[in-house]
Structure 1
Amino acid sequence: MNPTFVLVPGAWHLPSTFDLLRGELDAKGHPSIAVKLPTTGPEPRGGLREDAAAVRGAIEAVGGPVVVVAHSYGGIPATEAAAGLPGVRHVVYLAAYVPDVNESMFTIHGIPDPDDTDGLFPIGDDPRAQLYADVPDDVAALAIGRLVGQRVQPWADRVTRAAWHTVPSTYILTERDASLPVELQERMATHTKDVRRLPTGHSPHLARPDELAAILDEISARAGSAA
């Protein structure tokens, strides 16, 4: 059976961030769904546990083999959610965080937990440069207009289980990333068994969705044959 892609967005992003990629996957015959994370607006709530539950629910709803693709912050709830689910054939970390047990985004960066995790984390002064530097102007403008609030709490919450210990995984490293430092990506990629590289900024699903879909197509073929 052809695995279904379950796509997990990063901070501040809604499922629509994957529309272009889903179109490319659909053209290759791959079904896909994109997850709405509760901690991401327009009415953000909860923390990592709620986000992981949303990802886990999406995986379980497929009822067949799944390849999870997580972008940026999405790697944290995906790591928690995909552990122990027999339907998950592969996890793809797309310029994403790869936490181990008892790690959080803050600990990965070596930053102490904030005193207050109840508020929203600011997007930054220049999302165009930070997130979409190599994305076409019209696509970037639409993406910026779709950015929403993101709670701080899931960035401080620590992972209790890590899927990459038992599930085959791939890291797709973005070599011109202005958001997630390449050096940090290199370090986190050592947790995975396979590393691919794209000469893009932080959002290859918007900058080069066709090239990304080709990589995912190959991974899906391998994951399906290993089922």
Structure 2
Amino acid sequence: MQPTFVLVHGAFANSFSFAPLQAELGLLGHRSVAVDLPGHGFAATYDRAYQAPQDLAALASVPGSIKGVTLADNAAHLIGILERAKRNGPVILVSHSRGGITATAAANARPDLIDRIVYVSSWAPVDLDVAGYYAEPEMASVDTASLGLAAAANPAELGLLRVNFRTADPAALAAFKAAFLADATDEEFLVFLNTFQPDENLDAGTPADRARAATWGRVPKTYVRLRDDASLPLALQDRLIREGDALTPDNPYDVRTLEGSHLKWLLAPAPAARLLAELAPLV
């Protein structure tokens, strides 16, 4: 029976970014579902202050629909989708970037719904939570200061993360491109940037949300390394793989590698679709 690929986006993203990948999977004969986590996609907030000409003062204070959304909310939403997908046969859960935190939480809670979990340069925390990894040597090359140039509000005051992806600040745009899509043209980068939504929730997980051997550890797992990723560097990806393997030595990662930056696999998805299609017979 053909599996269903359930695709979980990363921070500030949504199901729209998976459209080219879904087209490629469909042309290979595979069924897929792209998830919008709570407060994402058509449920996101795009205030008039975000439109041109922008009102940056208002943008810093206008409420956002994602305020108060927790990792538990994300996991519950994903589990509901996994339950529905599982009625049709095997499920391969694919996460990207921050979406890995939600995928891990879902696998911790309901491993019975997942036949294989795939992390594509994705957070799969084992020894630390995400904030802890940012203080580690593997993340030292990430220029968080420059990425913060487009911050549009104080998270503590607004109750969410807000980034002005429509900024014209050349330094901020250069930082975004270097971190996420350095191997694209400027035009491709700007197109992709305009698929991002300005708001993201604050809850990136706690020690209780790390991978658990008794549940998450039962699920067959693949880690797809993105070789040229500057926002989640290869050294950190490899560390997450080592930690997962140490947690479940009898169920190690199946490790694959794709060329390209953090977002290139979504912009030019044919190699990723072929890789995912290779996993279908394993479930």
TM-score, normalised relative to structure 2: 0.70
1:132 and 2:181 equivalent? yes
Where 2:103 maps in the other structure, the secondary structure is helix
Select the residue among 176, 187, 192 that pairs with 2:228.
176
Deviation per CA, 1:115-138: give whole Å up to 9, x if none: 949231547823232212224555
Match of 1:4 in 2: 4
Matches within 5 A, 1:1-227: 1-38=1-38, 40=40, 41-42=44-45, 43-45=65-67, 46-62=69-85, 63=87, 64-83=89-108, 84-100=110-126, 103-110=128-135, 116=156, 118-120=159-161, 122=163, 125-126=172-173, 127-135=176-184, 138-158=187-207, 159=209, 162=212, 164-190=216-242, 191=244, 192-223=252-283
Classify 1:21/1:136 alpha carbon distance in 2 versus 1 (closer, same or farther; 3 Å).
farther
Q: Which of 150-159 and 187-196 deviates more?
A: 150-159
Moved more, 164-173 or 10-19: 164-173
In 1, Cα distance between equivalents of 2:183 and 2:111: 36
Kept in 2: contact 1:20–1:205 (CA 8 A): no
The RMSD of aligned alpha carbons is 2.5
State the Cα distance separating 1:23 from its structure 2 match: 0.3
Distance 1:139 1:3, change over 3 A: farther
CA distance in 1 between counterparts of 2:71 and 2:131 reads: 13
Could you tell me how far apart the structure 2 residues matched to 1:26 and 1:187 are? 33
Deviation at 1:212, TM superposition (A): 0.4
Letter in 1 for 2:82: I
Task: State the 1:165 CA deviation.
Answer: 1.1
TM-score w.r.t. structure 1 length? 0.86
| Secondary structure, counterpart of 1:77 in structure 2 | helix
Question: Relative to structure 1, is the Cα distance of residues 214 and 129 closer, same or farther in structure 2, using a 3 angstrom cutoff?
Answer: same
Higher-Rg member (1/2) = 2
Deviations 1:83-105 (A, max 9, x none): 3332311000000011138x431
Structure 1 ranges of 4+ moved more than 4 A: 136-139
Cα offset, 1:3, TM superposition: 0.6
Which region of structure 1 is more displaced relative to structure 2, 90-99 or 143-152?
143-152
Deviation at 1:206, TM superposition (A): 2.1
1:152 to partner: Cα distance: 4.7
5+ long unaligned stretches in structure 1: none
**Contact map agreement 2:111 2:219 (CA 8 A) in 1:** no
**Secondary structure, in 3 states, of the residue corresponding to 1:92?**
strand
Count of residue pairs brought into register by the alignment: 220
Normalized per residue, which structure has more helix?
2
Q: Which amino acid aligns with 1:72?
A: S
Q: Following the alignment from structure 2 to structure 1, what is the Cα–Cα distance between the partners of residues 7 and 185? A: 22
**Identity of counterpart residues, as a percentage?**
32
**Displacement of 1:207:** 3.7
CA drift of 1:108 comes to 2.7
Asked if the contact 1:134/1:207 (under 8 Å) is kept, the reply is: no
Which amino acid in structure 1 is aligned with residue 116 of structure 2? Answer: H
Structure 1, residues 53-92: CA drift from partner, whole Å, max 9, x if none? 1211111111231000000000000011123332311000
